[in-house]
Amino acid sequence: MKIKAVGTSGGKTIRNMLTTFLIDGKLAVDCGSVCTGLSLEEQLKIHDVFISHIHMDHIGELPLLVDNRALYGKSVTVYATETTIRYLREYVFNGVVWPDFEKIPAGEFPALVYKRVEYYYEVNVGDYLLTPLPVNHVKGSAGCYIQKGKIGFAYTSDTGKTDAVWEWLKKQPLLKGVVTECSFPSDMDALAGISHHLSSSMLGGELKKLGTDADVFIYHLKPQFSGRIREEIHGLNVHILSDGDEIVF
Ligand SMILES: [Zn+2]
Ligand SMILES: [Zn+2]
């Protein structure tokens, strides 16, 4: 399994790309930079997308991906929770902000198809088994565990302090790697708490709950504080992702 960290940042600048992970070139996990980070040719290979939650930095380029593919007669299948699908329909693909691609082109084969997922229920997504997992962020948020053969990979997406996802993941013997977040430095615990994110002082405690030897990768550093966050989590046994990094298991 090859995971390209197309965008890994918790904020957007000319040098920072928003959250998108691409599995083996064909399954996109979140769409913060799925167009700015990938060529048209690469976008045309992405049939399936998992959307973890409705926040702009995770869905921002999904409408553009759907449009790009639709012009080649290709659809996108979006896997998301019921709440996230409702938000996408109401607030994004609503015929005002962006066309309702469930009705385009007219007829049997729309350019956008939603597939509802439920926490802990495994679904087949192309070559993969995907299990959505509850995390502590906005309503409808889900991390995911993606398995192919004997390789398991997990993505918590954005989350504050939580237990359920770690308890479930520590029971997965095939888990090779986990991507989780660290958005703020330690003196911003209060903001991390109310925005349901992790700070560098919270991260160690969360990883103790995981308690496996899977590799841990960190994303979603706010670019304003990335230097301090890097210093503060230096002692933890984690890899801090940069845009464009590749993880291979
Ligand atoms: Zn978020
Ligand atoms: Zn985010």
Question: SS3 sequence, 187-243?
Answer: HHHHHHHHCCCCEHHHHHHHHHHHCCCCEEEEECECHHHHHHHHHHCCCCCCEECCC
pLDDT per residue rounded down to tens, the chain (249 residues): 999 999 999 999 999 999 999 999 999 999 999 999 999 999 999 999 999 999 999 999 999 999 999 999 999 999 999 999 999 999 999 999 999 999 998 767 899 999 999 999 999 999 999 999 999 999 999 999 999 999 999 999 999 999 999 999 999 999 999 999 999 999 999 999 999 999 999 999 999 999 889 999 999 999 999 999 999 999 999 999 999 999 999
- In the chain, pLDDT over 70 holds for what percent of residues? 100
Distance 51 CA to ligand 1 centre (A): 11
Task: State which residues have CB under 5 angstroms from ligand 1, the bound ion.
Answer: 55, 158
What residues make up the domain containing 153? 2-248
Structure tokens at 32: 């913060």
Instruction: Look at the alpha carbons of 191, 194, 199, 201 in this order and tell me if their dihedral is positive or negative.
Output: positive
Distance 72 CA to ligand 2 centre (A): 30
* pLDDT at residue 106, as a whole number: 72
Report how far residue 177's alpha carbon sits from residue 247's, in angstroms, rounded to the nearest whole number: 9
8-state DSSP, 83 = H
The answer to whether residues 79 and 115 touch, using CB atoms and an 8 Å cutoff, is yes
CATH assignment at residue 106: 3.60.15.10
Summary mean pLDDT of the chain: 97
